[in-house]
Structure 1
Amino acid sequence: MSAPVLAREAARAAAWLETYGSPLYVYDSGEVERRALELRAALPEGSRLLFSLKANPLPDIARLLQRLGCDAEVSSPGELAVALEAGFPPERVLYTGPGKSAEEVHAALAAGVTGFSAESWPDLERIDRVARAARLRARVLLRVNPSAPPVARLAMSGVSSQFGFDEADLVDGRARLAALGHVELMGLHVYQGTQLTDANSLLAAVRQALAVGESLSEVLGTRFQVMDVGGGFPWPFAAAGAGLDVSTLREPLALLSASRERTASAALWFESGRWLCGSSGTLWATVVDVKRSKGKRYVVLDSGIHHLGGMSGLGRVPLVGVGVARAEPVSGALEEVNVVGPLCTPLDCFARNVALPPLRPGDRVFIPNVGAYGLTASLTGFLSRPPPVELVHREGEVTAVYRLRWGHALYERPAPARPPGWEDAR
């Protein structure tokens, strides 16, 4: 952030912290809109862009992206509920994930969602059985694990993985697919990894996904309707900076799309969560204590790894970039400090041996670029501390305020409505 922008954001945050308490997640919906428009403009004409709700399932964020023309990719009943509440039509929702239970599949079908990504033969056959019991037909993408890994911060294909069919598993799959009477094969789903490092890595991943489609279309004897080539569009996590200039992808992606032969008529689908939401979010926190121990200086915040990315996939406990916001100019030499949280574990550390202006209790600090995989990917149950409030604004005007529900309640499992033949479907 430039100094004027930081001053404006700090003044807004100070007022919101007084009203809603600290720590506080702040999301700028204008940022989400800018990222969505940039990415959509970079994709080949006619492509569909799916919002991966796992990145940020906040209802207002999902609702905005639905209005901007995105579809939804969900991986749980909770995400499905958010997507439907946000207005995504059921036919524009793709249900993914390697552990879909029969109950989940049935609930999705009952809600009108018929699009699934199948990760294995047992997963595909389970979808078929549940669809048969419900007297419905599911539309399925086969998720494929290509032979070679991508250049990514977190590879999800090209390695031994719970995600997708190995290519070799589908070589003799034509007859097995034909025996499934309640699924329609729409095409393939090839999601190779998150945080693909640069434009070349992204283009290589798309190129490989399309090559897999060309090969398997011939092997399976079908013309695919859809090629979901995934995403991986990079954006910094919990540190200053910006993502790739996606406008540089426009021409090479169009050329790749035009180079297809057997899959030339298949619609291209892309997915994103991090790119769409990452820049929108800032976590604001307050200094509670400043102390010395054995020659080291510690700044203790009221926020920690239970609020930010404890399971973000970027490392079990990723270190982050911390900024300081004060109304008056910062003076004095920088100090080397460890920035830690309030939890009773030495793992609760945001930053080690970083140089910051002198801090005192009551000072406000911020962590940028946490609109994706921030609170939603964190250890919110640890130590039973309440989750922070999440605030959405547009140009400084608050449009929504949420608090994630957490705690224990007596459990009563409702009896689900089940179609005839349910026991056989399981």
Structure 2
Amino acid sequence: MSTFASAREAARAAAWLETYGSPLYVYDLGEVELRARELLAVLPAGSRLLFSLKANPLPAIAARLCQLGCDAEVSSPGELAVALSVGFPAERVLYTGPGKSAEEVHRALGAGVTGFSAESWLDLERIDRAARAARVRARVLLRVNPNAPPVARLAMSGVSSQFGFDETELVEGRARLASLDGVELMGLHIYQGTQLADAQALLAAVQQALEVGEALCGALEMPFQVVDVGGGFPWPFATPGVGLEAAALQGPLALLAARRQRTASSALWFESGRWLCASSGALWTTVVDVKRSKGKQYVVLDSGIHHLGGMSGLGRVPLVGMGVARAGAETEPGALEEVNVVGPLCTPLDCFARNLKLPSLRPGDHVFIPNVGAYGLTASLTGFLSRPPPVEVAHRDGVVLSVSRLRWGHESYEPPATARLRSKQEAR
């Protein structure tokens, strides 16, 4: 599937490619604002919306979502550092994910973050010990893996999973919860998965999460302050298109929220990364070669799976659609030709699209891949073949607001214990 840039888009991108180099990620913060306001407007009254930084930890995007009233969901020290650096108050950060180390938890607590999602008994007890050692009280959501089957394409619950307590395990072990002195059990965290197919699937996931909340509130005999129902708001990835009509969710979500009984007073939390920033991003790249081999036409770009969808070699990311812009020429094509679009890496896995119909391209032409503001660069194999990451530009109405690039390459490393010993020796 292909599309074509407007003359204005083509000229703007050509100027930025000339200034910052190719390939180039371009993020429109106006799109981020639009998506955030759409989603905030349809959530039930009193709900909180958490931005999942895993989708795109670019500081400029995170900062704008913080200003718009979102909270932050993080699952690594790097994401936490970004969230705090752009202004998210520590009390508006939820630290999630399986396998949180004791050091991670200690650092988060030391930074003032007390909100955690616990994935297992060991994870919960580790948070409890760290909180007692820090003489603070951690506010914890119990992540639940429901008994009901999943409704998501990429399921994170309802199946055997590393995520969360099995629902029955939590009920059977409820006595263990009373022995925890360092944590305050705030409620539940139920995340079905990403890219729910449509509005019907999304509403079914929310309904299932709320039903689990109702059941566990009774079984655990525990009032919940919070029920985090996750996200899964869908948006196309690396192909032209738009997500579902957000306004259609408002009435059904309000009705589901109003039907609650045991958890009627619990605050509802929703999470989103993909919906909030996917539409903002495009990867602009330049044609470096056009060749023919055994009857097939190949277009070779200066960007590949190390910059977008590095998991495609594992069959986890679909082939992309792309747009075309030729500087100084009409954007609408004449005849289309069938081509394979590939990158510069020394592997046959480095393929963006096969048998894609595009106008005739030549070296120096610019093409772009839309809808990659989420899980684009951040989900790619940036270290593969030691090629530098692309520059990332964030703008609003064409005014560039930030220009950055991920660090890459090797640097010397000194273990913390060695550094402490060296510091002591130097102090003598």
**Fold shared by both chains (TM-score > 0.5):** yes
Going from structure 1 to structure 2, the CA distance change for 1:128 and 1:3 (only over 3 Å counts) comes to closer
Going from structure 1 to structure 2, the CA distance change for 1:3 and 1:152 (only over 3 Å counts) comes to closer
Going from structure 1 to structure 2, the CA distance change for 1:190 and 1:314 (only over 3 Å counts) comes to farther
Q: Partner residue of 2:227?
A: 227
Measured in 2, the distance between the counterparts of 1:220 and 1:204 equals 24
Shift of residue 136 of structure 1? 1.5
Measured in 1, the distance between the counterparts of 2:293 and 2:312 equals 30
Measured in 2, the distance between the counterparts of 1:413 and 1:141 equals 33
Measured in 2, the distance between the counterparts of 1:293 and 1:312 equals 23
Matched, 1:102 2:80: no
Measured in 1, the distance between the counterparts of 2:71 and 2:82 equals 13
Going from structure 1 to structure 2, the CA distance change for 1:48 and 1:314 (only over 3 Å counts) comes to farther
1:195-274 equivalences in 2 (<5 Å): 195-274=195-274
TM-score (norm 1): 0.95
1:285-296 equivalences in 2 (<5 Å): 285-296=285-296
The share of aligned pairs that are identical, in percent, is 80
Please point out which of 393, 397, 403 is paired with 1:401.
403
Q: Partner residue of 2:130?
A: 130
1:33-48 equivalences in 2 (<5 Å): 33-48=33-48
Shift of residue 311 of structure 1? 3.1
Q: Partner residue of 2:380?
A: 378
Measured in 1, the distance between the counterparts of 2:151 and 2:418 equals 44
Shift of residue 337 of structure 1? 0.5
1:297 counterpart SS class: strand
1:269 counterpart SS class: strand
Q: Partner residue of 2:329?
A: 328
Shift of residue 415 of structure 1? 4.8
Give the AA of the match of 2:49: L
1:21-46 Cα offsets, whole Å, 9 max, x none, are 00000000000000000000010010
1:7-406 equivalences in 2 (<5 Å): 7-311=7-311, 315-326=315-326, 327-329=328-330, 330-406=332-408
Verify the 8 A CA contact 1:74 1:96 in the aligned structure 2: yes
Give the AA of the match of 1:355: K
Measured in 2, the distance between the counterparts of 1:114 and 1:213 equals 22
1:238-287 Cα offsets, whole Å, 9 max, x none, are 00000011110000100100000010000000000000000000000000
Going from structure 1 to structure 2, the CA distance change for 1:102 and 1:81 (only over 3 Å counts) comes to same
Measured in 2, the distance between the counterparts of 1:118 and 1:415 equals 29
Going from structure 1 to structure 2, the CA distance change for 1:391 and 1:314 (only over 3 Å counts) comes to farther
Going from structure 1 to structure 2, the CA distance change for 1:410 and 1:3 (only over 3 Å counts) comes to closer
What RMSD over aligned residues (CA atoms) do the two structures have, in Å?
Answer: 1.9
1:341-364 Cα offsets, whole Å, 9 max, x none, are 000000000000111100111100
Going from structure 1 to structure 2, the CA distance change for 1:163 and 1:2 (only over 3 Å counts) comes to closer
Measured in 2, the distance between the counterparts of 1:331 and 1:97 equals 47
2:253 counterpart SS class: helix
Verify the 8 A CA contact 2:305 2:312 in the aligned structure 1: no
Give the AA of the match of 2:54: K
Measured in 1, the distance between the counterparts of 2:415 and 2:311 equals 28
Give the AA of the match of 1:339: V
1:66-114 Cα offsets, whole Å, 9 max, x none, are 0000000000000000000010000000000001000000000000000
Verify the 8 A CA contact 1:150 1:201 in the aligned structure 2: no
Measured in 1, the distance between the counterparts of 2:11 and 2:260 equals 52
Give the AA of the match of 1:12: R
Q: Partner residue of 1:421?
A: none
2:292 counterpart SS class: strand
Measured in 2, the distance between the counterparts of 1:292 and 1:403 equals 34
Going from structure 1 to structure 2, the CA distance change for 1:129 and 1:315 (only over 3 Å counts) comes to same
Verify the 8 A CA contact 2:313 2:349 in the aligned structure 1: no
Verify the 8 A CA contact 1:154 1:313 in the aligned structure 2: no
Going from structure 1 to structure 2, the CA distance change for 1:312 and 1:170 (only over 3 Å counts) comes to farther
1:359 counterpart SS class: coil
Shift of residue 6 of structure 1? 2.1
Give the AA of the match of 1:344: C
Verify the 8 A CA contact 1:154 1:314 in the aligned structure 2: no
Going from structure 1 to structure 2, the CA distance change for 1:3 and 1:381 (only over 3 Å counts) comes to closer
Verify the 8 A CA contact 1:310 1:318 in the aligned structure 2: no
Measured in 1, the distance between the counterparts of 2:183 and 2:4 equals 56
Q: Partner residue of 2:425?
A: none
What residue ranges of structure 1 are gaps of 5+ in the alignment? Answer: 419-426
Verify the 8 A CA contact 1:310 1:316 in the aligned structure 2: no
Measured in 2, the distance between the counterparts of 1:5 and 1:404 equals 27
Measured in 1, the distance between the counterparts of 2:418 and 2:163 equals 29
Shift of residue 127 of structure 1? 0.6
Measured in 2, the distance between the counterparts of 1:6 and 1:351 equals 22
2:227 counterpart SS class: strand
Give the AA of the match of 2:377: L
Shift of residue 172 of structure 1? 2.0
Shift of residue 309 of structure 1? 1.7
Verify the 8 A CA contact 2:299 2:342 in the aligned structure 1: yes
Measured in 1, the distance between the counterparts of 2:47 and 2:110 equals 28
Verify the 8 A CA contact 2:152 2:193 in the aligned structure 1: yes
Give the AA of the match of 1:328: A
Shift of residue 333 of structure 1? 1.9
What residue ranges of structure 2 are gaps of 5+ in the alignment? Answer: 421-428
Verify the 8 A CA contact 2:53 2:74 in the aligned structure 1: yes
Measured in 2, the distance between the counterparts of 1:95 and 1:206 equals 21
Going from structure 1 to structure 2, the CA distance change for 1:260 and 1:317 (only over 3 Å counts) comes to closer
2:153 counterpart SS class: strand
2:411 counterpart SS class: coil
